[in-house]
Amino acid sequence: MAAAPDFEVAKLTGEITVPKLREGAMAGIKSFNANEKIQAPLGYPGELVEDWHDRAIGKMGELLKKYRSLQVFMDACVHCGACTDKCHYYIGTSDPKNMPVARQELMRQVYRRYFTFAGKYFPKLVGAKDLSKEILDDWYSYYYQCSECRRCSVYCPYGIDTAEITMAGREILDSVGIGQKYSNEILGKLHRIGNNLGLPGPAILDTLEGLEEDVLDDTGIPVKFPLDVEGAEVLLVTPSADFFSEPHVESLIGYAKVFHAAGISWTLSTKASEAGNFGLFIGSYENMRKGALRIRDAALELGVKRIVVGECGHAWRVAYSFWNTLTGVGAGAAEDDEFARKLQAQLDPSVPQPSHICEFTYDLLKRGVIKADKSKNDHRVITFHDSCNVSRASRMGDMPGGQFIIPREVIKMVANNFQDMAPGTTHEATFCCGGGGGLLTDDLMEVRVKGAQPRMEAFKDVVDSKKVNFLALICAICKAQFTKVLPYYGYNMGMVGGVHQLVSTAIELPGLGAGPVEEEADEAETEATAAGDE
């Protein structure tokens, strides 16, 4: 199926095993560097600066003061090894530097040397090292082999989150002129144009009009895809991949049908045409804030009462956990906090701000405002992949763990056949798709394919034993990653789709019974069902 890769792809067994370590297995792997044109708009030098050593140490000192996480995590690790077998990149590559603690140690060795008594006076004893170009190389290589998925932080007795260290590492690298082309180019597009794909307003409008026609043809119902409508009730902020990529767009159709069926006025926005925010990936508070402020501005301009976020993992983390901090989208601002109050006075306090589209749809389904004909999804046996950032860095609903329950409930309310993957690979223990955190680029294909292995093993298990033929996702990156990676493991990429693609299939649209109009968008998966595995 896929072009023969120039690296070995493991044969799946359906079980996850921890490999013996192979030093240097992934040492040569480096994604392309960003050039001056990409770096400058983000506020970073375009190439390695002359005084890189002092600047890097200076930056590290600054970050240690700004982030308690970094300071505590640098000190607290006891090398207990509990995290060593928890990273999908270690499991998939067996390179010891992909063990979370070893990834941290790349920075800790430098931290010790410059910031601790023991490292200053007894470097050999505690493994402290002077910062060198070789170490910077190692950082670049291994901090871009971490998807910032936080799986390690679940298992560490002190909650040490390697993602925090990876982010700091990337921020230091950027500040001395070593940036990653993929992430930084995309972030530049977000700042310049308003979305990661760099789609200008007219292109979005064009796409949305096309979708309206498609849905009308399919269903006979004039479902609208409004753009920049002032005074709409809801602003939907979704990853721009939803406008153009397959299978993403099927979920966008699903959201539109939900709004239509519920009779709630809504709008997309050209200014806020991106939920994703790669500022998170490179650990840059300023860039993340700048990207997020677009949503605030759009919400104020359009005068919406509610902000709903489409299917995207890291975007949901930024929205749920950080938007309130960065932009005031949320509730509970202090009396004298005019910046946040201005927006919060406009937003409806009776609903969570922002809401995840799954929370939104779940509520409507539960209250019977919208209805679904589950049998429409009977050709599918569905499993659900918990996205890292949703699972371990956010919540849905009003109780801890709602982020696991609500998407599954939505699936079960629109489909009859649902099967979970093995415990230990779902919920907070979920394995990353392998493409998160700024790794979703072709120049890191080997890392991506190998990093997906644990998830693929768990998937194979349910494909074999439960006849699963649909991998339901709530993340734009997961969708793109699995579409690309499934074929390496002998599966059809059409098995991948969004939760709202399932909603789209089954939802009953007003003016139409449960019956007649058959979907045509489903060809891909029918094929997938037939393809099965190897």
Closer CB to another protein, residue 164 or residue 228? 164
Cα–Cα distance, 131 to 142 (Å, whole number):
16
Q: How far is the CB of 451 from another protein (least distance, A)?
A: 17
Q: Are 467 and 529 in contact (CB under 8 A)?
A: no
If the CB atoms of residues 122 and 339 are measured against ligand HEM, the closer one turns out to be 122
DSSP 37-90: HHHGGGT--SS--TTHHHHHHHHHHHHHHH-HHHHHHHHH-----TTTT--HHH
Q: Is 80 in the site for ligand HEM (CB under 6 A)?
A: yes
Task: Kindly state whether residue 87 participates in binding ligand SF4, applying the rule CB under 6 A.
Answer: yes
Residue in this structure with the two tokens 């919400």, named with its chain if needed: 299
Instruction: Name which of 71 and 416 has its Cβ closer to another protein.
Output: 71
Q: Give 82 or 208: the residue with its C-beta nearer to another protein.
A: 82
Q: Nearest CA to 215 among 178, 175, 257? A: 257
Structure tokens at 392: 């371990």
Amino acid at 181: K
The stretch near ligand SF4 (CB under 6 A) out of 123-131, 152-160, 179-187, 455-463 is: 152-160
Q: Which of 481, 489, 429 is nearest to 459 (CA)?
A: 489
Among 78, 118, 216, 514, binds ligand HEM (CB under 6 A): 78
Among residues 166 and 273, whose Cβ is nearest to ligand SF4? 166
Between 159 and 532, whose beta carbon lies closer to ligand HEM? 159
Q: Of all helices (H) and strands (E), which one includes residue 171?
A: helix 162-175
Which listed option, ligand SF4, another protein, ligand HEM, none, makes contact with residue 75 (CB within 5 to 8 Å by class)?
Answer: another protein
Q: CA separation (Å) from 396 to 206, 320, 358, 429, 466?
A: 33, 9, 8, 17, 28
Q: How many residues bind ligand HEM (CB under 6 A)?
A: 3
CB of 78 to another protein, least distance (A): 5
Binding mask 120-149 for ligand SF4 (x = CB under 6 A): --------------------------xxxx
Q: Which does 146 bind (CB under 5 to 8 A by kind): another protein, ligand SF4, ligand HEM, none?
A: ligand SF4
Q: Which of 61, 474, 515, 4 is nearest to 242 (CA)?
A: 474
Q: Which is nearer to ligand HEM, 161 or 185 (CB)?
A: 161
- Decide if residue 401 touches ligand HEM (CB under 6 A): no
Burial class (CB in 10 A: 0-12, 13-18, 19+), 511: exposed
x/- map, 142-181, ligand HEM, by CB under 6 A: ---------------x------------------------
- The gap between the terminal CA atoms of the chain, to the nearest Å, is 10
Task: Find the shortest distance in angstroms from Cβ 150 to another protein.
Answer: 6
Q: Does 118 bind ligand HEM (CB under 6 A)?
A: no
Q: In 3D, which of 417, 410, 412, 411 has the Cα closest to residue 380?
A: 417
Task: Give, in degrees to the nearest 5, the angle at Cα 351 between 256 and 360.
Answer: 30
Q: How far apart are CA 425 and CA 385, in angstroms?
A: 9
**If binding is defined by CB under 6 A, does position 447 make contact with ligand SF4?**
no
Residues that bind ligand HEM in the complex, under the rule CB under 6 A = 78, 80, 157
Residues that bind ligand SF4 in the complex, under the rule CB under 6 A = 77-83, 86-87, 89, 100-101, 103, 146-152, 156-158, 160, 162-163, 166
